[in-house]
Structure 1
Amino acid sequence: MSSNHVNSPNMKLELVVFNVSDVERTKAFYENLGWRFDIDVVEGDFRGVHFTPPNSDASILFRKGVTPNNSGSAHNLVLAVDDLDAAREDLIARGVNVSDIFHYAGAPFNNAVENPRVSGRDPQARSYFSFASFEDPDGNIWLLQEITTRFPGRLWESTRAGDLDVATLASLLAETAKQHDHYKKTHAEHHWWDWYAPYLSARQNGSSSEEAAAVADRYMEEIFPVLST
Structure 2
Amino acid sequence: MDSKLEAVVVPVTDVDRTRHFYRALGFRLDVDEATRDGLRVVQLTPPSSVCSIIIGTGITPATPGSFRGQLTVPDLEAARAELLARGASPSAVIRCRTGCDAVTFDDPDGNQWLLVEGAPLS
Q: Verify same fold: TM over 0.5.
A: yes
The corresponding residue for 1:53 is 46
1:144 and 2:115 are equivalent in the alignment? yes
One-letter amino acid of the structure 1 residue matched with residue 53 of structure 2: I
The corresponding residue for 1:224 is none
One-letter amino acid of the structure 1 residue matched with residue 49 of structure 2: S
Report the alpha carbon displacement of residue 73 of structure 1 after superposing the two structures with TM. 2.4
The higher-RCO structure (CA 8 Å, 6+ apart) is 2
- Normalising by structure 2, what TM-score? 0.89
Classify the secondary structure of the residue corresponding to 1:87: helix
**Where has structure 1 moved over 3 Å in runs of 4 or more?**
none
Structure number with higher helix proportion: 1
* Matched-pair contact (CA < 8 Å) for 1:132–1:144: yes
The corresponding residue for 1:20 is 12
1:64 and 2:57 are equivalent in the alignment? yes
Aligned residue runs from structure 1 range 8-157, under 5 A: 9-43=1-35, 44-66=37-59, 69-104=61-96, 106-107=97-98, 122=99, 129-148=100-119
* Matched-pair contact (CA < 8 Å) for 1:83–1:148: no
Alpha-carbon spacing, 1:93–1:144, altered in 2? closer, same or farther (3 Å): same
CA RMSD of aligned residues (A): 1.8
Cα-to-partner distance string for 1:141-178 (whole Å, 9 max, x where unaligned): 011111138xxxxxxxxxxxxx8xxxxxxxxxxxxxxx
Q: Unaligned regions of 5+ residues in structure 2, if any?
A: none
* Matched-pair contact (CA < 8 Å) for 2:64–2:110: no
Alpha-carbon spacing, 1:66–1:54, altered in 2? closer, same or farther (3 Å): closer
Distance in 1 of aligned mates of 2:67 and 2:10: 10
Cα-to-partner distance string for 1:31-82 (whole Å, 9 max, x where unaligned): 1011111010101211111000011010000111246x43342443001001
Classify the secondary structure of the residue corresponding to 1:85: helix
Classify the secondary structure of the residue corresponding to 2:49: coil
Report the alpha carbon displacement of residue 140 of structure 1 after superposing the two structures with TM. 0.7
Distance in 2 of aligned mates of 1:76 and 1:132: 13
* Matched-pair contact (CA < 8 Å) for 1:74–1:140: yes
Number of aligned positions between the proteins = 120
Distance in 1 of aligned mates of 2:59 and 2:27: 24
Distance in 1 of aligned mates of 2:67 and 2:101: 17
Structure number with higher strand proportion: 2
Report the alpha carbon displacement of residue 100 of structure 1 after superposing the two structures with TM. 0.3
Q: Unaligned regions of 5+ residues in structure 1, if any?
A: 1-8, 108-121, 123-128, 150-162, 164-229
Larger radius of gyration: 1
